[in-house]
Structure 1
Amino acid sequence: MRSFALALPILLAAAPLAAQSISFNGWTEQRFSLFAQVDYGFSGSRLSVSSDDAASMTYRQLPAGSWGATSASWSWAVSESVPATDLTRKGGDDRNLSLYFVFLPQAEAERIGEGGSIRSLLNNEQARVLVYVWGGAHGRGDVLSSPYLGPRGKTIVRRPSGTGSFSENVDLAGDYARAFGGSAGALVGLAVSADSDDTNSTIRGEISGLSIN
């Protein structure tokens, strides 16, 4: 019995993470400008986005119980789209929707704990960020260098610029290995951004059913 008790934490750590539905209630907005903001509608499993010549981000940190996630799925829809842009060009890279997955080494995640801003996470030199994007003039599956995050971030194109409604399933562990090499650390944060300020255009869209496991 004692040997089983000692082995139990190891067994639990090795067990796959059960699928976790992510609620958008309680997310925090990070504005990029005082005068232009994206309107977000937070409603449980659904996040609506309305942007008129604006850009901003909304985010949440994840508890330790979610750090081991290796895959994700969601649905998203866009009824009004920004034009196609070059997503590698800083200041000219408008996109409809971006979904960020922020990773840190386990020890760093434990040191930081919960709390802090998305800016502090994204500016952490040990952070690695996968950014799944609907937008741009690129092909589905293209992996691009981030003009903002440098070697710490990679943009993965899921949909080129345009409208429609789609469901996505992504292999976070596999995409991380291809983007950065090695194994992903702890998944410590999620963020969503919309960006239409460079092209003075409009976005109407939503993300729903976000789940990690």
Structure 2
Amino acid sequence: MLPAAAPGPLSAAEIAFSGWTHQRFSLLGGNTWRQGGRDLGVESNGAVSLLWAAVPQASWQASTADWTWSVEVSVPPTDLSLRGGDDRNLSLYTIFAPPDVARAAQGMGIRKLLENPDIRVLMYVWGGAHDRGATVPSPYLGARGRTIVLRPAGVGQHRESVNLRADLARVYGRDDLALIGVAVSADSDDTKTRIKARIGNLRFSG
């Protein structure tokens, strides 16, 4: 496991895991999340849920994202394009909108946000049976969302750095969207297995 980050002030580009909203997808269940500033821990036992937060307007034009993550207990490999069969250890959702939509969407909840036809989502995933770098259609978001596989299912610890603007251009054909939201999910409900994982040191830059 990666060690928890040392306490200290967060820079303007660093996103603190504090005060994020827990979104469940059923009346019962959900993951157990532990928010700790630079570090977010999760345990999932046959469950699925996400935490999300709005991105400060100063970071709406961020071009890169960097973070660390680790998995101690992993779900098995799955087909991430399969609705109802797409368990994964961790997903980092980066949520984008055209500037006019971004301004109108301020204060909107995550469910309504993800249903907006103008929203575009890049989901960076640790999980699945796909090769690193594979881009997989979302079985839930349709044209609004794409999964980019950074790590197949398994345990370990890694640092990641992604070019948000290059991925937007490659996947959606435009790179001028505003980064308005971020979410982290863990998903073990389909395989009825367990996840124990962490993500930390999340920064948006550029």
Alignment TM class, shorter chain as reference: over 0.9
Whichever structure has more helix as a proportion of its residues is: 1
Aligned to 1:185: 177
| Equivalent of 1:194 in 166, 186, 189 | 186
For residues 28-47 of structure 1, what are the structure 2 equivalents within 5 Å?
A: 28-47=21-40
The aligned length equals: 195
Can you list the C-alpha shifts for 1:94-131, whole angstroms capped at 9, x where unaligned? 00000000000001111222x12111111110000000
Aligned to 1:72: 65
Aligned to 2:115: 123
**2:149 aligned with 1:157:** yes
The 8 Å contact of residues 169 and 175 in structure 2, kept in 1 or not, is answered as: yes
Q: Displacement of 1:62 after TM fit?
A: 1.4
Partners in 2 of 1:77 and 1:183 — Cα distance? 29
Can you list the C-alpha shifts for 1:127-151, whole angstroms capped at 9, x where unaligned? 0000000000000000011101101
Can you list the C-alpha shifts for 1:52-78, whole angstroms capped at 9, x where unaligned? 000001100112111111110000000
Q: Quick check: 90-99 or 34-43, which moved more?
A: 34-43
Partners in 1 of 2:68 and 2:58 — Cα distance? 23
TM-score, normalising length from structure 2?
Answer: 0.93
Q: Which amino acid aligns with 1:170?
A: V
TM-score, normalising length from structure 1?
Answer: 0.90
Please, what is the CA RMSD of the aligned residues? 1.1
Structure exhibiting the larger radius of gyration computed from Cα positions: 1
| Structure 1 ranges of 4+ moved more than 4 A | none
The 8 Å contact of residues 105 and 113 in structure 2, kept in 1 or not, is answered as: no
Partners in 2 of 1:32 and 1:46 — Cα distance? 23
Aligned to 2:54: 61
Q: Displacement of 1:19 after TM fit?
A: 6.6
| Equivalent of 1:100 in 73, 89, 93 | 93
**Structure 1 residues not aligned, in runs of 5+:** 1-17
Q: Which amino acid aligns with 2:86?
A: D
The percent of aligned pairs where both chains have the same amino acid is 50
Partners in 2 of 1:199 and 1:29 — Cα distance? 22
